[in-house]
């Protein structure tokens, strides 16, 4: 980090601290930005180091706040649970969850012989995990419109018996290799079991 001046480093820390209220998180983000800048630098000459470091830090700050918003939780006190029956956990929830998993695995077992790997992964991402199209498309390294075509074809094929056509049949191909698709499907299936 010796190539970054002390002024640039101090300016970066102040920049992050103005945007992230927790000083520990701000220090972590500033350090990540410096590490990322150092690894991306590769000896090239940067014209405006401050602007470059701030650009990297902005992306890290956005990711930090996005990650924080995913896991907001609310304490469920006895008074709130009593006044709001909708917030109470169903007594048959473990049984319902097990039955749901069995239905999912039954569908996937039937679909394994009928659906190509891309279709299986698309169904897992959308219908089991509930990921948005943008996230699922990024996971499969496809554009969103291509992913939507694959998902539509997968859902159609899952509803009617018979082997499905590979995603390339629609003029859409998945850049992931067969080994990558198998590994992704395995990871998704294992995630269902936990």
Residue 27, number of CB atoms within 10 A of its CB: 14
Q: State mean pLDDT over 50-69.
A: 84
pTM of the full structure:
0.47
Q: Cite the residue boundaries of each domain of the chain with CATH code 1.10.1740.
A: 6-70
Among 19, 20, 2, 13, CA closest to 50: 13
Tell me the CATH number for domain 6-70.
1.10.1740
Distance between terminal CA atoms of the chain? 42
Span 142-175, pLDDT tens digits: 999 999 999 888 888 777 765 555 544 556 788 8
Span 8-52, pLDDT tens digits: 889 899 999 988 888 899 999 999 988 888 887 655 667 778 888
Among 4, 10, 8, CA closest to 27: 10
Choose the weakest-confidence range: 24-28, 68-72, 95-99. Answer: 68-72
């Amino acid at each position: 980090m010796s190539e970054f001046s002390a002024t640039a480093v101090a300016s970066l820390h102040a920049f992050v601290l103005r945007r992230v209220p927790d000083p520990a998180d701000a220090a972590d983000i500033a350090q990540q930005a410096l590490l990322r800048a150092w690894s991306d630098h590769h000896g090239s000459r940067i014209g405006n180091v401050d602007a470059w470091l701030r650009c990297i830090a902005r992306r890290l700050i956005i990711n930090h706040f996005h990650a924080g918003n995913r896991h907001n939780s609310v304490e469920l006190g006895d008074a709130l649970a009593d006044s709001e029956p909708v917030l109470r956990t169903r007594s048959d929830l473990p049984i319902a969850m097990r039955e749901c998993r069995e239905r999912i695995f039954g569908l996937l077992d039937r679909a394994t012989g009928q659906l190509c790997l891309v279709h299986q992964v698309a169904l897992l991402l959308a219908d089991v995990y509930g990921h948005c199209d943008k996230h699922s498309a990024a996971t499969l390294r496809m554009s969103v419109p291509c992913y939507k075509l694959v998902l539509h074809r997968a859902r159609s094929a899952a509803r009617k018996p018979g082997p499905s056509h590979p995603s390339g049949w629609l003029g859409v191909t998945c850049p992931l290799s067969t080994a990558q698709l198998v590994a992704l499907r395995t990871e998704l299936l294992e995630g269902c079991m936990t």
